[in-house]
């Protein structure tokens, strides 16, 4: 019994969340690589970190090793389900239901301006009635979660063939624009980087 609990604990990935983030990214659950190295979106073909920089959500190139620094730019990361699996097909529906409750509690506690769902599958899980039988549009959704705006992003995994990289970058860029308009991008690190790189205030 104790050995089983220890194994489960080792496959759980720590959240990177702080108060009043401008964006909280939500993955569906960690992959085995991310759980092994202890960092989010660590798959070798995952384009999440490249998209963060190229969309100007962060002012410098970053990798999965930098996920502890995201708070510097008012960003955070969590997962709907904390358990790591080889694929989302290994998740049980009860885990998704419990994950929604836990996510709402995190949003109420930390109060991010925008909750960015990294993958259409997460949106369908959180809002099954709204997404049943209809295509999910990338961008801001009409729903909210615990008062936070909801933004739908494509899954940046290299295995996602539903969107081109250009479409992914466009969605991440629109998120960056929304975060700036939200008035929550005024952390010291963001102000310094905007001044240094000539971003408009």
pLDDT tens-digit series, residues 154-187: 999 877 778 999 999 999 999 999 998 875 444 4
Domains, the chain, ranges and CATH?
Answer: 17-197 (3.40.470.10)
Contacts 24+ apart (CB under 8 A), 185-188: 185/22, 185/73, 185/74, 187/22, 187/72, 187/73, 187/74
- In this prediction the pTM is 0.84
DSSP 133: T
Q: How confident is the model at residue 20 (pLDDT cuts 50, 70, 90)?
A: confident
**Over residues 29-50, mean pLDDT:** 93
DSSP state, residue 163: S
- Taking the C-alpha atoms of residue 180 and residue 190, their distance in angstroms, rounded to an integer, is 10
Which comes out higher in pLDDT, residue 152 or 3?
A: 152
Model pLDDT, residue 11: 52
């Amino acid at each position: 019994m104790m050995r089983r609990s220890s194994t489960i604990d080792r496959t759980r990935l720590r959240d990177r969340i702080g108060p009043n983030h401008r964006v909280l990214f939500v993955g569906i659950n960690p992959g085995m690589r991310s759980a092994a190295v202890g960092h989010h979106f660590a798959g070798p073909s995952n384009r999440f970190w490249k998209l963060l920089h190229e969309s100007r959500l962060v002012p410098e190139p970053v990798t999965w090793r930098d996920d502890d620094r995201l708070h510097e730019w008012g960003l955070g990361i969590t997962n709907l389900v904390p358990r790591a699996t080889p694929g989302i097909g290994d998740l049980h529906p009860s885990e998704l239901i419990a994950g929604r409750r836990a996510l709402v509690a995190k949003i109420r506690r930390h109060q991010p301006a925008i909750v960015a769902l990294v993958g259409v599958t997460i949106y369908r899980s959180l809002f099954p009635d709204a997404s049943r039988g209809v295509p999910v549009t990338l961008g801001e959704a009409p729903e909210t979660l615990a008062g936070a705006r909801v933004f739908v992003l494509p899954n940046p995994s290299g295995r996602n063939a539903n969107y081109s990289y250009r479409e992914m970058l466009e969605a991440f860029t629109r998120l960056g624009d929304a975060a700036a308009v939200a008035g929550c991008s005024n952390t010291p690190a963001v102000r310094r980087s905007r001044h240094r790189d000539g971003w408009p205030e």
